[in-house]
Structure 1
Amino acid sequence: MTVTDIRTLADRIEDLLPQTQCTKCGYPACRPYAEAVARGEAGYNQCPPGGAEGVARLAALLGQPVIPLNSANGVERPRPLAVIDENICIGCTLCMQACPVDAIVGAPKHMHTVIAELCTGCDLCVPPCPVDCISMPPVTGESTGWDAWSQRQADAARERHERREARLAREREAAEARAAARRTSSAAAAAEAETSTAAPVSASVAPTEASEAASKKRAIIQAALERARKKKEELAAKGQGPLNTEHVSADVQAQIDAAESRRRRLGLAEDSADPDTPPSPAGTRNPR
């Protein structure tokens, strides 16, 4: 019996990419780039992490001549590693949100750190950092391209990226479901309020279910805020609190508040405050 290989050309191209998910090729990840090359919409010499060997691999697959790496996409170089200066880090989480392979761990207003063996050296965590606390030193000596990377590392990076994309998709769907539920609840509350206008006496006798739910929510939020405040005080007393979180510049604070607002809207952060509450002024952030 003949076994038919159902893998597409894009699958084969993707298998030859280093899976750093760095976007230097001009596409949001390795898979979209592979698909663009397969369609003939992108050159097979646009992957700096793959370097000259990567171009040669793709050329052999596509039956094309080996050409130089496109300098517009970057240069072949030793693989770098993201390093966070914890004395400067303010715990804004922007680097965590940018990392395509979940190689950074931390929590809002707590120190972040990079898991060295998971970092692909993509550089994507550097631009969003508002305090420039991330450096990218080379860690592979003079080895570049595929000499500075392995197939095992590429496979592991692809798996982490795929898991991250699946998780973000689930979180977006959950956030959309919660938003739809809130809209439905608001519409029901508005309809109930309109009905209660005709019978003010009965409305004053007992609170509506909507008002009881709102009161319960406020109580839960207040309790969460109090726990967060106490935890922050305990960490500060032990000298374990994050540095540089107070009296930051207005520009830095605005970036942090905007990021946290986006995370709440997308359901990517714990709802410790009402999503409709405006961000606090610079230097007076509410604990999360």
Structure 2
Amino acid sequence: MQDLISRLHAALPQTQCTRCGYPDCEAYATAVAQGEAGINQCPPGGAEGVARLAAITARPMLPLSAEHGTEGPRTVAFIDEAWCIGCTLCLKACPTDAILGSNKQMHTVIEPWCTGCELCIPVCPVDCIELEVVSGERTGWAAWSEAEAQVALQRYRQHQTRQAREKAENDARLQAEAQAKLQDISAHSRLSDPTQLERKRALIEAALQKARARRNPGSSGEE
């Protein structure tokens, strides 16, 4: 099964656009391998993409699912810098970290890393992001190369790693703050009643135990 998933995943364009109905290309490949999704749900891959999946799965060829979109040219996001307010929402939405910018600073798109996934467009509160066609009349895999797919996949994996690291760092920071409050709860609380302080202590201890259990699923949560 894993070999089939890997082959299906390698046959996808790695735009990570979610138009197939799954959170990323690997999740779609897994669903196809398990018979939970059709081979015709990837608009960026177009007709050739369907043919690739049909060959791997030995399923009959199908037209691209209209429900999931249409085959089109390669597009790249463009940010109108005059309207950008630096909200960073597009940075968080981009699966390949192809947008450069910081809070309250103008953002810009690094074109070679953009897959045209469109995920940045709906999150922009000032509607300053547009798509520009960069492949002329070429569509699907004719407008996208294996090399570009590999770059997109590498960028996406780096994006996932960064997100996981930032979440772990944030969780550790919050836990350290909670632990500090727990050690001297009376100094960190406006409460003075011993019963209420003990109740607050119990709530913090329970939250810390849950956090430890999430980080170490195989442990009992005790240290």
Q: Secondary structure at the match of 2:133?
A: coil
Q: Deviations over 1:240-288 (max 9, x none)?
A: xxxxxxxxxxxxxxxxxxxxxxxxxxxxxxxxxxxxxxxxxxxxxxxxx
What's the CA shift for 1:26? 0.3
| TM-score, normalising length: structure 1 | 0.64
Residue of structure 1 equivalent to 2:134: 139
Q: What is the correspondence of 1:1-288 to structure 2 with a 5 Å cutoff? A: 8-190=3-185
Change in 2 beyond 3 A, CA 1:30/1:192: same
Does the C-alpha gap of structure 1 residues 148 and 190 become closer, same or farther in structure 2, counting only changes over 3 Å?
Answer: same
Match for 1:169: what amino acid?
A
**TM-score normalised by the chain length of structure 2:** 0.82
**Structure with max Cα Rg:** 1
Distance 2:123 2:33 in 1: 32
* Secondary structure, counterpart of 2:75 in structure 1: coil
Show CA shifts across 1:204-241 (max 9, x none). Answer: xxxxxxxxxxxxxxxxxxxxxxxxxxxxxxxxxxxxxx
Change (3 A) 1:39 1:192: same
For the 8 Å contact 2:181–2:188, the answer to whether it is kept is: no
Q: Name structure 2 gaps, 5 residues minimum.
A: 193-223
Q: What are the Cα deviations for residues 139-168 of structure 1, in whole angstroms up to 9, with x where unaligned?
A: 111100000000000011001100110111
1:89 alignment partner AA: C
Identity score, percent: 54
Paired residue secondary structure (1:137) = strand
One-letter code aligned to 1:176: D
Alpha-carbon shift at residue 192 of structure 1 (Å)? 6.4
Aligned to 1:190, the other structure's residue is in SS state coil
Displacement after TM superposition at 1:193 (Å): 7.5
CA deviation string 1:46-84 (max 9, x = no partner):
000000000000000111111100010000001111000
Amino acid at match of 1:23: T
Rounded Cα–Cα distance in structure 2 between residues aligned with 1:148 and 1:124? 19
CA distances 1:171-220 after superposition (whole Å, capped 9, x unpaired) = 111111111111110111215689xx9xxxxxxxxxxxxxxxxxxxxxxx
Q: CA RMSD in A?
A: 1.6
Report the CA distance between 1:38 and its aligned residue.
0.7
* Residues matched between the structures, number: 190
Amino acid at match of 2:163: L
Runs of 4+, deviation exceeding 2 Å: 191-194
The aligned amino acid for 2:27 is: P
Which residue number in structure 2 is paired with residue 279 of structure 1?
A: none
